[in-house]
Amino acid sequence: MMLLLATFLSFVMIATAIWVILTPSLLKAIIIFAIVSLVASVSFIFMQAPDVAITEASIGAGITTAIFILSYKRVSEKN
């Protein structure tokens, strides 16, 4: 069961990562990247690494996305 779930998570992660690269919209890419990070942090729990999971969720998914979106506002305000 866990194995199945892990496989599913991996597929979600890879599919979303490809989506990030291919989508032409920047904002969409940033939001989808947050999903990649969140799924990665769930994967860390699967690999028995709760410390890393918490750090990845708060820093990788939270703060990185926040900085990306704030920057996006600055670079897109003129067009």
Partner 1 sequence: MTMSNIFLISSTSLIFIGLFGVLTRKNIVKILLSLNIIETGINLLLVAFGYKEGGKVPILTSSDSINHLGNMVDPVPQALVLTSIVIGLGTTAFALGLTIRYYKTHGTLNIEANDEEEVTAHE
Partner 2 sequence: MKNDKSLLLNILAIAFLAVLAYFIYSVATSNDIGIKVTDNNVVENRVAYRYLNKNVLDENSKYEWGGKAEDSAANVVTSIVADYRLFDTSLEVIVLFITVMGFGLVIPKENIKIKESTELLYHWTPLLMTYMLLVGGYMFINGHISPGGGFPAGAIMSTAILVGVLAGKQTVSHTTLKKIEAIAGTLIFSIATLGFFLKGSFFINFLEGGNVGDLFSAGLIPILYTLVAFKVAAELSGIYFEFYEGGEEHDNV
With CB under 8 A as the rule, give the number of residues binding partner 2: 17
- Is residue 59 near partner 2 by the rule CB under 8 A? yes
Contacts of 33 (CB under 8 A, 6+ apart): 16, 20, 65, 68
- Is residue 60 near partner 1 by the rule CB under 8 A? yes
Neighbouring C-alpha atoms within 13 Å toward the C-beta of 39: 19
- Is residue 42 near partner 1 by the rule CB under 8 A? no
Min. distance of Cβ 44 from partner 2 in angstroms? 10
Find the binder of partner 2 among 70, 76, 78, 79 (CB under 8 A). Answer: 70
C-beta separation of 61 from 41 below 8 A? yes
Torsion, Cα of 40, 62, 19, 74 (10° steps):
-160
- Is residue 55 near partner 2 by the rule CB under 8 A? yes
- Is residue 14 near partner 1 by the rule CB under 8 A? yes
